[in-house]
Chain A
Amino acid sequence: MNFGVIVFPGSNGDHDALHALGEVLGQPTRAIWHRETSLDGIDCVVVPGGFAYGDYLRAGAIARFSPIMGAVERFARAGGPVLGICNGFQVLTEAQLLPGSLLRNAELEFRSQWVRVRVERADTPFTSGLTAGEVLHLPIAHGEGSYFAAPEELARIEANGQVIFRYCDPTGEITPATNFNGSLNHIAGVCNERRNVVGLMPHPERATEAILGGDDGRRILESALSVAGVRV
């Protein structure tokens, strides 16, 4: 499977994603500079973490108008699998490829730590190898990850099953103590209505090898392979 990792000025999770997909998963993987305008030959797009354009104005706001984003939007609207990680999630909400928005963390702190998230749905390209209800151990590193959607939109995405991951405790329970960034309904990741675009604040690409502290993230990335019929 040919992965494309979008690189904006200020991306810093791009090399982690390139390593995880290219070295750990052993897939042909290409960095795609934001000035490019084509995704020809790409089967799966990853919008990585970082601080694209310095997060100026709003996280993801300026990146969303980068030349490559036209191709990403066409790819997504044609049903191609797109994964937005952390800042990439913010870019995809700004591009309106994903619902809602990500606000400053409730405690105003930048949080860099390992968290647990509960898989809510297995019917997306990035959770097909997972089971609804299971708990993943993943790192987060963000200052603006507090998920927000207007009440009617929140109700709609919940009803549609578009909430894919929620912050939880090690047993999968949703408790106030696990909602460290103030996300509505503990939301850590969502998908679009068509379910081919997924965004999440945790970093699966930083949890693909035991030496890094955990490899649960590898299963998220590997899920994309099974959808495309590719085997590792």
Chain B
Amino acid sequence: MSESNSATWLAHVYVTLKTVVNDPQGLAIADGLHTMGYGGVEDVRAGKYLQVRLRAASAEEAQRLAEEMSDRLLANTVIENYRCVIEPAS
């Protein structure tokens, strides 16, 4: 898939549970924060953050690939949403 003129990109992939999905982990974390005294905490949702280094010809192509990977593997779109942010890899 890599091309000679391609560059390396870093995709930041944020995977979060859909709002209709119950998140017992987030509720337990919120409980913990309340116990610690953070009474202002209204809600916690636990998710995943992934970094994918990939080669692609352009930022647009890297974005497309990261979203395709998210659709197919990184997120389960039955229960999760995802967001991909692309930057040139250092």
Contact = CB atoms under 8 A, between A and B. Distances in A.
Given A150-B20, A151-B20, A61 B76 contact: yes
For B20, B74, B79, which residue has the most chain A Cβ atoms within 10 angstroms? B79
Interface stretch (B1-9, B22-30, B32-40, B57-65): B22-30
A105 B18 CA distance: 17
A30 B20 CA distance: 41
Nearest to B28: A108
Nearest to B20: A150
B22 A150 contact: no
B73 A148 contact: no
A62 B18 CA distance: 21
Interface residues of B, number: 13
B30 to A, nearest CB: 13
B22 A103 contact: yes
Contact of B24 (A61, A149, A182): A182
A94 B73 CA distance: 9
A146 B48 CA distance: 19
B59 to A, nearest CB: 25
Interface in B58-90: 73-74, 76, 78-79
Contacts of B48: 57
B21 interface: yes
Given A62-B73, A150-B20, A101 B79 contact: yes
What are the nearest 7 A-B pairs in CB distance? A101-B78, A101-B79, A108-B24, A106-B24, A58-B76, A104-B24, A101-B76
Interface of A: 57-58, 61-62, 65, 93-94, 100-101, 103-108, 146, 148-151, 153, 182
